[in-house]
Structure 1
């Protein structure tokens, strides 16, 4: 997005929600922090990895320089779900893989968004850590119209294109975080944020909704039902992965660092 239209920035609201890289560009420039949500791949993988003590470097998808970048940072390089390797864009695979201190984790959606942001603190959220993230965002003083929280639902891509496919799991993840922030007293969500929060109902069977969604069925059909099962474990961990010196590390105790 070369020029960000003023109407797209959701100004005047303390919690803002958008989709994909274009949404990150629209909301991130004046945000107190930007929260990336990619429930069925990147941010759930980040929560699993950082919970085990691994620093996770986001990187562009299908970029031939990823190997050199990993070597430069003394990091292992994750591959796509269907590729061979101990580390991949799969929460279940990361959980099974040998421990590595550093991991470069490219993805077409969440990782690409995180890698594209500059000058704004970036947090990785998913259903597994939604309460922990909400607690730390509120403690940091973000969520006001002057220091807004920009929540970016990564979405998926339609096959064979780079067009964002709005994905139910990321909308529910964004809604869960907005709802948690409102419960903690933040009172100025944008209409987009309010609508996301209303879509998330803690009393509904979120696990069943995501498992039966298009994205859930796609993963199950390709042999990755375990990834879905891990992703729908709401508040299963307390990690708050913050992009610090280029890598996501768990900052549950404090929020600090920016994207570079």
Structure 2
């Protein structure tokens, strides 16, 4: 047992891929939060009844063969997708026309964390769009099983970190998304979880501005994807709760 594992509490928060590994090791109910944009994209895709198969990076021949085997479209980078009219790690590229279609989604942060924590009994995808709904699902599983809950804000990665540097860059949009979920979780909350919830409660009256002006929001806006930022900042507008089953996400049914 690690002194850092928040083990005396039922609701915890851990960052990134290492945090996903710790949650998986404990067998916690796990909620992956990557607001801009893995989580928001998965939630939106399931809302229009598309199928999403997560896959860890890099995008190479192996993942292309996996998508081909599934009869799925391999989602492209935003820039490539915009040129080709395809789907990308952008929630606004999905519509009702995608019902029943299959997609393979490869991403550095969200998909990597999912892959690491994939063996837990319940792995959910959460964001601002479905914060209350995913918390309700996690509460139900916790009541049924007695398992604890860990929320994983994925964060971003610094470009070109040196060998002796940690590549994780905490991202406030993921922290605020995690806080919105934690606010609705039942059971005792670690100090770390309480502070994360407090950050959301402080920011929620001005949430659009905070995420619009944060580093990740500015990056997407400068690349021409302001619509993604605006869309992903809405709170509790979708009731979809993606849960990982047989290597794909399905909508959780109570």
Name the CA distance, whole Å, in 2 between partners of 1:51 and 1:135. Answer: 17
Structure 1 residue aligned with 2:169: 165
Give 5+ residue unaligned stretches, structure 1.
255-260
Per mean C-alpha deviation after superposition, the further-off stretch among 121-130 and 72-81 is 72-81
Q: Contact 1:130 / 1:234 at 8 angstroms: preserved in 2?
A: yes
Q: Deviations over 1:114-139 (max 9, x none)?
A: 02224202100000000111111112
Shift of 1:96: 8.4
Matching residue of 1:12: 8
Counterpart secondary structure, 2:31 = strand
CA contact (8 A) 1:16 1:27 kept: no
Partner of residue 212, structure 1:
213
Number of aligned residues: 244
- Aligned to 1:40, what secondary structure does the other structure show? coil
Structure that is richer in helix per residue: 2
The equivalent of 1:66 in structure 2 is 63
Secondary structure in structure 2 of the residue aligned to 1:124: strand
Tell me the distance in 2 between the aligned counterparts of 1:32 and 1:225. Answer: 35
Q: What whole-Å deviation, never above 9, does each CA across 1:80-107 have from its counterpart, x for those lacking one? A: 1122341111111234875452110111
**Bigger mean CA offset, 167-176 vs 24-33:** 24-33
- 1:30 — aligned with what? 26
Query: Does 1:131 pair with 2:132?
Result: yes
Q: 2 CA distance for matches of 1:124 and 1:60?
A: 15
Per the TM alignment, residue 225 of structure 1 is displaced from its structure 2 partner at its CA by 0.3
Q: 1:166 to 1:208 in 2, by over 3 A?
A: same
1:74–1:58: structure 2 CA closer, same or farther, 3 Å change rule? same
How far the C-alpha of 1:242 sits from its partner, in A, is 0.3
Task: Answer with 193-202 or 210-219: which moved more.
Answer: 193-202
Change (3 A) 1:96 1:211: farther
Partner of 2:102: 102
5+ residue gaps, structure 2: none
Distance in 2, matches of 1:90 and 1:96, equals 15
RMSD of equivalent CA atoms: 2.0
Instruction: Name which of 51, 55, 65 aligns with 1:55.
Output: 51
In the TM superposition, structure 1's runs of 4+ consecutive aligned residues that sit over 3 Å from their partners are 95-100
Preserved CA contact (<8 Å) 1:75 1:102 = yes
1:179 aligns with 2:183: yes
SS of the counterpart of 2:150? strand
Q: Does the 8 Å contact 2:142/2:149 carry over to 1?
A: no
Aligned to 1:250: 251
Secondary structure of the residue aligned to 2:22 is helix
* Equivalent position of 2:72 in the other structure: 75
Once residues 231 and 74 of structure 2 are traced to their aligned partners in structure 1, the CA distance between those partners, rounded to angstroms, is 22
